[in-house]
């Protein structure tokens, strides 16, 4: 049995837009459920907000997110780390995420020999990308 962590991102009003953007970046299958589709939720002002969204990419990446209702506390996101040995895929994802992003660390060779970069995308989500360097020794 495989167990893997998946980021679950919280937004106040932009879960749909963020997942649609990530769908363009990562490809795959996008599933969206709104609060209005849930019979127990009664606030019409928030009916179109995303109660649960999930993107599953062809490479096995799963990103989930939701819009936090106005009546609940909003908790800021943590970094999302993308790593692996498929440098072409990771560089392509980096380039796509960089659209409208703030780049903290450009994707370049790091002191430890890997290719590494940090950006905060246009939705305020911080991403770290790490591509292993050549084997040492």
Domain spans, the chain: 8-67, 80-131
- Is it the case that residue 70 has pLDDT exceeding 70? yes
Q: How confident is the model at residue 87 (pLDDT cuts 50, 70, 90)?
A: very high
Q: What is the DSSP letter of 48?
A: T
CA dihedral sign of residues 54, 55, 58, 60 = negative
Q: How confident is the model at residue 1 (pLDDT cuts 50, 70, 90)?
A: low
Query: What's the CATH superfamily of 8-67?
Result: 2,3-Dihydroxybiphenyl 1,2-Dioxygenase, domain 1 (3.10.180.10)
**What is the crossing angle of helices 87-97 and 15-26, to 10°?**
140
| CB contact at 8 A, 129 and 82 | yes
The domain 80-131 having CATH identifier 3.90.550.10: the answer here is no
Tell me the whole-structure pTM to 2 decimals: 0.82
């Amino acid at each position: 049995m495989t167990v893997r962590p998946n980021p679950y991102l919280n937004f106040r009003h932009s879960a749909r837009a963020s997942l649609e953007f990530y769908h363009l970046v990562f490809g795959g299958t996008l599933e969206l459920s709104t609060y209005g589709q849930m019979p127990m939720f009664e606030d019409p002002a928030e009916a179109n907000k995303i109660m649960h969204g999930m993107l599953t990419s062809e490479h096995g990446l799963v990103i989930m997110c939701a819009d936090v209702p106005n009546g609940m506390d909003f908790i800021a996101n943590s970094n999302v780390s993308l790593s692996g040995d498929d440098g072409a895929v990771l560089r392509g994802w980096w380039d796509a995420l960089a659209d409208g992003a703030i780049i903290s660390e450009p994707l370049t060779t790091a002191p430890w020999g890997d290719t590494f970069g940090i950006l905060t995308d246009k939705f305020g989500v911080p991403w770290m990308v790490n591509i292993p360097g050549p084997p040492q020794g």
